[in-house]
């Protein structure tokens, strides 16, 4: 269903939720014909457009109810959010500059993900007219050197667009660099001067992206907040994971960050929440009658969240060894998806309503115990004349490391909807394939007239809904179907929605969506502190026990399907991993 909006509906009309505003149903359009197009409900209007170009920005509210131009930065050492301090008369958005500072600009994530995502937003006209991007890191670089560095990773979203080179040039000219220490207020004060100079006296909204190792998060936030906050607009900080190593350290990190920022200013990123299929999870469930009524223990036998990478920790062993796969993937990415999958219907699509439901479901879960989990670690392997290194062959990893690079876990939600349903997770590096999917295995049809077709194991012929997050995004449903012909033979077929066949649009990278949301003040896809707390509460006791007892991981060869322990864990709960059925 497409929203039919007139250009004049650009302030706050609350019409249809699909193709107007992507979350709340409000429609804000800068260029109606460009943005609210298409009969397909997947096209959305970025809130940032509305916020930046609306004629009457005071009509618009952010998801926390604050006016969009509300100032919420810390002024010097003050730690009070300044949401109330909205300027009485707000100048037009055209006089506002958006300044984005990528802290840790010389690093891997900045180069590979953040700058390309910013360029993609610029390329697709999602950034406001007045914006600047600053790279900040210790490495000495000129503006020109930063531009050269990032230009190698920029790509045009849709190939063969004519103006790509021009757009790149325009984008790069908006990128600047400032070298400084992460703990130096002087260096951030100098950054502030440069920002002010480029902002040219206009109002400014400032976004800091902390793309640095976690041990320097707080220093950088302190300096940025005290010396480089915006004095006329908002200041927000995107924080990358890891958010601590356990409940205690995570709470401590939050406590420290909140000395300088309010919760509203902190955008804890989990990039899996920005993935297209994760976005679609709620749409699929809540807008399709064929799914919503089935979403419970009455019809669902088990749910599986499977993350598999076909490469090891190459180059990131130093970081990884301190965290392991449970913290790297399960406690955040997979658990976030699980929470979205299993939550009750939120009151609305508003950020707080959704996050409230996620917290509830996380708090209804039983903390993991040792017997709910198996862990593995990849070892070196030779195949086809090529040899692949084991985890401990990485020079930055101790030879006696027992850090898991693979884990499988069975989780349970103790509420009336999900009582007794195993939610299985499996995550591993250096496996045979790169794939992330959600698999929902349904119960068998009671008294099935065709059961003689399935042999004795009825569970083999149950429906299975698969959401393949990557690669080749797809949603497919395994059904039993009559093989055409005069006989009565059934087979398992797929109702298949392969995105590349259905939609011509290229799927945006998760970081694009999340950056756009942070700019627009939309918090729905960011992790609130109580959510984080609830997530750690599930994993912390287990992690402590694994580490204290130095539980040895089961070794598996690089490029294999992982340790056999994962099969036994699933079997213990009467589950077969869907990705091992040999049909995919
Ligand atoms: N890379 C990835 O794929 C992902 C990364 N993340 C998270 O994003 C953040 C950034 O990741 P990534 O870019 O890989 O990190 P890097 O290790 O590349 O670090 C980023 C920058 O921080 C500075 N830095 C590195 N180590 C130190 C140190 N010990 N002390 C002070 N400064 C240091 C360096 O810049 P300089 O020396 O110039 O100051 C470096 O270029 C991390 O928190 C990471 O956990 C999250 C998901 C995926
Ligand atoms: O957060 C992380 O994610 C990546 C996988 O992200 P993807 O979007 O490429 O699937 C993972 O490789 C990394 O270890 C982890 O820190």
Could you read off the pLDDT of 89-109 as tens digits, one per residue? Answer: 344 556 899 999 999 999 999
Nearest CA to ligand 2 atom 16: 328
Question: Look-up: residue for tokens 């309010």?
Answer: 262
- Cis amide leading into 506 (omega within 30): no
Q: What is the pLDDT of residue 113?
A: 96
- Cis amide leading into 485 (omega within 30): no
Atom of ligand 2 nearest to the CA of 320: 14
| Interface predicted TM-score (ipTM) of this complex, two decimals | 0.97
Angle at which helices 115-123 and 164-172 pack, to 10 degrees? 120
| Ligand 1 centre distance from Cα of residue 137 (Å) | 10
Helix (H, G, I), strand (E, B) or coil at 416: coil
Verify whether ligand 1 is closer than 6 Å to residue 141 (CB atom): no
| The pLDDT of residue 9 is above 60 | no
The mean pLDDT value of the chain amounts to: 85
In angstroms, what CA-CA distances link 511 with 56, 122, 209, 211? Answer: 29, 13, 11, 12
| The pLDDT of residue 47 is above 70 | no
CA 53 – CA 70 distance, rounded (Å): 16
* Confidence grade of residue 51 (pLDDT, cut at 50, 70, 90): very low
Verify whether ligand 1 is closer than 6 Å to residue 332 (CB atom): no
Question: Look-up: residue for tokens 């170009």?
Answer: 53
Nearest CA to ligand 2 atom 3: 329
Percent pLDDT > 70 in the chain is: 82
The answer as to CATH 3.40.50.300 being correct for domain 67-269 is no
| Ligand 1 centre distance from Cα of residue 214 (Å) | 8
> Where do the structural domains in the chain lie, given as residue ranges?
67-269, 273-440+528-580
pTM here? 0.86
CA 304 – CA 360 distance, rounded (Å): 20
In angstroms, what CA-CA distances link 197 with 97, 99, 200, 201? Answer: 11, 11, 5, 7
**Average pLDDT of 8-21?**
33
| Ligand 2 centre distance from Cα of residue 437 (Å) | 14
Smallest-distance ligand from the CA of 241: 1
Q: Count CA atoms closer than 13 A to 536's CA, side-chain side.
A: 22
| Ligand 2 centre distance from Cα of residue 53 (Å) | 35
Q: What is the pLDDT of residue 257?
A: 97
**Which of 104, 178, 214, 324 has the most ligand 1 atoms within 8 A of CB, as the residue to mutate?**
104
Smallest-distance ligand from the CA of 243: 1
Verify whether ligand 1 is closer than 6 Å to residue 130 (CB atom): no
Q: Are 275 and 395 in contact (CB under 8 A)?
A: no
Q: What is the pLDDT of residue 456?
A: 67
Q: Using a 6 Å CB cutoff, which residues line ligand 2?
A: 271, 309, 328
Q: What is the pLDDT of residue 581?
A: 72
Q: What is the pLDDT of residue 447?
A: 86
Percent pLDDT > 90 in the chain is: 74
Strand order in the sheet with 464-470: 490-498, 474-482, 464-470, 435-442, 300-308, 423-428, 406-411, 373-379, 554-557
Strands 235-239 and 203-210: parallel
**Average pLDDT of 313-340?**
95
pLDDT tens by residue, 426-476: 999 999 999 999 999 999 998 888 877 777 676 778 999 999 999 999 999
pLDDT tens by residue, 130-145: 999 999 999 999 999 9
**Backbone dihedral angles phi then psi of residue 223, each to the nearest 5 degrees:** -70, -45
Q: Which residues are catalytic?
A: 333
Neighbours of 357 (CB within 10 A): 18
Residue 69 in tokens: 């131009």
Nearest CA to ligand 2 atom 15: 328
Smallest-distance ligand from the CA of 320: 2
Low-confidence winner among 175-184, 298-307, 313-322, 417-426 (lowest mean pLDDT): 313-322
pLDDT tens by residue, 247-280: 999 999 999 999 999 999 999 999 999 999 999 9
Verify whether ligand 1 is closer than 6 Å to residue 559 (CB atom): no
| Ligand 2 centre distance from Cα of residue 389 (Å) | 20
| The pLDDT of residue 244 is above 80 | yes
Verify whether ligand 1 is closer than 6 Å to residue 137 (CB atom): yes
Q: Where are the alpha helices (DSSP H) in 152-230?
A: 164-172, 185-199, 217-228
What is the CA angle 193-197-201, rounded to 5? 110
Residue 76 in tokens: 């010097």
Q: Are 48 and 520 in contact (CB under 8 A)?
A: yes
pLDDT tens by residue, 161-179: 678 889 999 999 999 999 9
* Confidence grade of residue 511 (pLDDT, cut at 50, 70, 90): very high
Q: Measured in Å, how far apart are the chain's first and last C-alpha atoms?
A: 32
Smallest-distance ligand from the CA of 217: 1
Give every CB contact of residue 378 below 8 A, 6+ residues apart in sequence: 312, 390, 391, 405, 406, 428, 429, 430, 555, 556, 557, 558, 560
| Ligand 2 centre distance from Cα of residue 331 (Å) | 13
Question: Class for domain 273-440+528-580, per CATH?
Answer: alpha beta
Strand segments, DSSP code E, in 150-276 are: 175-179, 203-210, 235-239, 266-269
**Which of 317, 333, 435 has the most ligand 2 atoms within 8 A of CB, as the residue to mutate?**
333
| The pLDDT of residue 39 is above 70 | no
Q: What is the pLDDT of residue 458?
A: 66
| The pLDDT of residue 584 is above 90 | no
Verify whether ligand 1 is closer than 6 Å to residue 93 (CB atom): no
């Amino acid at each position: 269903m497409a929203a039919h909006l007139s250009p004049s509906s650009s302030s706050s009309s609350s019409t249809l939720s699909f193709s107007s505003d992507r979350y709340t149903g409000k429609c804000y359009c800068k260029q109606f014909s460009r943005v609210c197009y298409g009969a397909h409900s997947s096209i959305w209007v970025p809130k940032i457009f509305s916020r930046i170009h609306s004629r009457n920005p005071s009509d618009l509210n952010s998801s926390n109810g604050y006016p969009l131009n509300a100032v919420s930065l810390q002024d010097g050492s003050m730690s009070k959010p300044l949401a109330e301090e909205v300027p009485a008369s707000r100048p037009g958005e055209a006089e506002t500059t958006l300044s984005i500072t990528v802290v840790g600009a010389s690093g891997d994530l900045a180069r590979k993900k953040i700058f390309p995502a910013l360029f993609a937003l610029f390329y697709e006209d999602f950034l406001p007219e007045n914006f600047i991007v600053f790279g900040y890191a210790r490495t000495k670089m000129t503006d020109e050197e930063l531009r050269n560095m990032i230009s190698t990773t920029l790509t045009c979203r849709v190939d063969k667009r004519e103006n790509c080179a021009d757009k790149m040039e325009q984008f790069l000219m908006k990128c600047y660099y400032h070298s400084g220490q992460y703990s130096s207020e002087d260096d951030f004060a100098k950054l502030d001067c440069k920002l002010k100079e480029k902002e040219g006296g206009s109002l400014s909204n400032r976004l800091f992206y902390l793309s640095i190792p976690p041990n320097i998060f707080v220093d950088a936030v302190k300096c940025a907040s005290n010396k480089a906050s915006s004095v006329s607009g908002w200041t927000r900080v995107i924080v990358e994971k890891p958010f601590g190593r356990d409940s205690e350290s995570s709470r401590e990190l939050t406590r420290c960050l909140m000395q300088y920022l309010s919760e509203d200013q902190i955008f804890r990123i989990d990039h899996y929440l920005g993935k297209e299929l994760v976005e679609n999870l709620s749409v699929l469930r809540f807008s399709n009658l064929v799914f919503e009524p089935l979403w419970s223990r009455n019809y669902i036998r088990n749910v599986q969240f499977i993350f598999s990478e076909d490469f090891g920790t190459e180059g990131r062993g130093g970081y990884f060894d301190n965290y392991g796969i449970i913290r790297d993937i399960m406690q955040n990415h997979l658990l976030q998806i699980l929470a979205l999958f299993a939550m009750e219907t939120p009151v609305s699509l508003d950020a707080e309503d959704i996050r409230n439901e996620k917290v509830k479901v996380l708090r209804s879960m039983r903390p993991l115990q040792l017997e709910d989990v198996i862990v593995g670690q990849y070892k070196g392997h030779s195949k086809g004349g090529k040899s692949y290194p084991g985890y401990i062959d990485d020079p930055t990893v101790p030879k006696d490391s027992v850090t898991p690079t693979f884990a499988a876990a069975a989780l349970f939600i103790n509420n009336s909807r999900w009582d007794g349903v195993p939610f299985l997770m499996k995550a591993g590096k250096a496996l045979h394939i790169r794939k992330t999917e959600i698999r929902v295995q349904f119960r068998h049809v009671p008294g099935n007239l065709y059961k003689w077709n399935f042999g004795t194991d009825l569970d083999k012929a149950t429906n299975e809904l698969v959401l393949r997050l990557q690669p080749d995004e797809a949603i497919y449903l395994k059904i039993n179907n009559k093989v055409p012909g005069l006989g009565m033979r059934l087979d398992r077929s797929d109702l298949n929605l392969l995105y590349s066949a259905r939609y011509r649009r290229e799927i945006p990278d998760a970081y694009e969506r999340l950056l756009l949301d942070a700019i627009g003040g939309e918090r729905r896809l960011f992790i609130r502190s109580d959510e984080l707390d609830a997530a750690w509460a599930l994993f912390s006791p287990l992690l402590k026990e694994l580490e204290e007892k130095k539980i040895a991981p089961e070794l598996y060869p690089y490029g294999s399907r992982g340790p056999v322990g994962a099969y036994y864990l699933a079997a213990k709960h009467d589950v077969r991993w869907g990705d091992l059925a040999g049909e995919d």
